Amino acid sequence: MKLTWERTTGPFVTAVMESRYLTTQEADELLHDWENRSLRVCFAVCMGELAWHAHWVGNIRNASPGRWVLVSGQTTNVVSTDQYKEILLTEDDDIVGLRFRRADGGPPTFEVNLFIHKHNRLDQDPLPLISKIVQ
């Protein structure tokens, strides 16, 4: 399934995002590619689309099959791709993101988002990029 939408501000189109559902294996392959290329990844956690709780930027590593770890400062985050019923790939001109939703045994609004900036600009404030992912 492929979804396309446009965000507008006034009469101007500001971004075109495309999304599609991925299998666990496809998500693991994409994360493996990010790991191999040593890309900086933003790991963002939320409850609902508006309530962002925390985000961290660092490099992602494979801890075991389907289990990915991001260490940022004193914080370690883990996502197991097979623990989610829904994985969306979201992409536009600036970002590529993975949205992990509907965790097994978790609250229905819990979501983990992992994304990269295509132009390697995650050293700047990632919050504007996070807002693009959830809209």
- Which tokens go with 60? 């992602």
Q: How many domains does the chain have?
A: 1
**Residues 6+ away with beta carbon under 8 Å from 61:** 35, 68, 69, 70, 71
Could you count the other beta carbons within 10 Å of the beta carbon of residue 47? 14
Q: Report percent pLDDT > 90 for the chain.
A: 51
Check residue 1 and give its pLDDT.
32
Instruction: Say which CATH number the domain at 54 has.
Output: 2.70.180
- Is-above-0.75 flag for pTM? yes
- Which tokens go with 41? 């990844």
Q: Which domain holds residue 112?
A: 2-134
pLDDT (tens digit per residue) in 47-86: 876 556 678 899 999 999 999 999 998 999 999 999 999 9
